[in-house]
Structure 1
């Protein structure tokens, strides 16, 4: 009998990275990723993908965070009424000066409480902007007055007819 240890196959990090990218980038289960890798000729179990996820996902997340571009200091906000199941809702949208979508929020109302909720979500994710561009909806001004962190921010209200806020529209 041989004293050799069983052979453990070590996958290159490029395969591990690809598997984790598939799992986190698309709405796939670990079994779906397993099947996609098998289609590429790579045999791996979904348990292995789970272990890779536990071990390497924090590193992958940190790498992606450093690759992410800085968000602009000018926010363009807009809201629009959209029917969902026959009921009107307010869709709140925010983009930065480069046109990158910052956040979307679907609310039942278009009042200052909804605007404050939207600002709070944005401020939890991004730094305080230098300028906020909105249309003339009064809810924006009320929400900005209610949040002390936004008091020094320049608030520019643009006329909807002039399409000055067209970065978001």
Structure 2
């Protein structure tokens, strides 16, 4: 007979999903998560934690992406330089006007082709925006002109330090913290999978970090925890 739930582990999914959530939610190493779980009487090796993140990370990210609501009509695009296994890469990121991450893509180049690849990927997941905000990298304009569906979109280029582009700069900071905690990314595919789930979990807890009353913040946090539990149940 075919096993209806092919993921066999000696730990229940509630522990697995909590460990994966800890690793992607906070700038922690596998050994940090191992110690936090051990404090609660759960003995698991850091290598097992790594296997859990690799095995379930993309599944959790897909479930979260499916549950996310429609995002705003303004796109903010930016790219930062990062290192993967000693080689320079470019991390392309897009957010809406509220700071929610639309997508994130790790590429080796910072040219027209890379910009077009990222924009095409975005259009496959989201509606055509009304406005696209970018820095003054010419690759954005060249790529936008080559995509017919973006012909009527208002493309606004600003200097990277402009106030209207701060919404995406804030998202880069969390990635930098995670990068430092891992002492750099080792493999491109693994880094892409990690960053995708990290971005979705950041979106999930986005409202819990805003300057609202304590009661509203706790309500938002409860909703985020309930959604995460539902995501884990869907994967299990």
Map Cα deviations across residues 118-140 of structure 1 (whole Å, 9 max, x no partner).
Answer: 00000001110000010000000
Show the counterpart of 1:31: 8
Pairwise CA distance, 1:37:
6.6
CA pair 152-38 structure 1, distance change in 2 beyond 3 A? closer
CA pair 36-165 structure 1, distance change in 2 beyond 3 A? same
Pairwise CA distance, 1:152:
0.4
The alignment covers a number of residue pairs equal to 118
Show the counterpart of 2:123: 123
Show the counterpart of 1:100: 100
Between the aligned partners of 1:148 and 1:154, the Cα distance in structure 2 is 13
Map Cα deviations across residues 17-48 of structure 1 (whole Å, 9 max, x no partner).
Answer: xxxxxx9xxxxx7223x731799xxxxxxxxx
1:81 partner SS:
strand
More helix by share: 2
Pairwise CA distance, 1:80:
1.0
Give every structure 1 segment of 4 or more consecutive aligned residues whose post-TM-superposition deviation is greater than 2 Å. Answer: 161-164
Show the counterpart of 2:137: 137
Between the aligned partners of 1:69 and 1:146, the Cα distance in structure 2 is 28
Equivalent residue runs for 1:1-169 within 5 Å: 30-32=7-9, 35-36=11-12, 65=66, 68-169=68-169
TM-score (norm 2): 0.46
CA pair 128-35 structure 1, distance change in 2 beyond 3 A? same
1:152 partner SS:
coil
Long gaps (5+) in structure 1: 1-22, 24-28, 40-60
Show the counterpart of 2:180: none
Higher Cα radius of gyration? 1
Give the structure, 1 or 2, with the largest relative contact order (CA under 8 Å, sep 6 or more). 2
TM-score (norm 1): 0.63
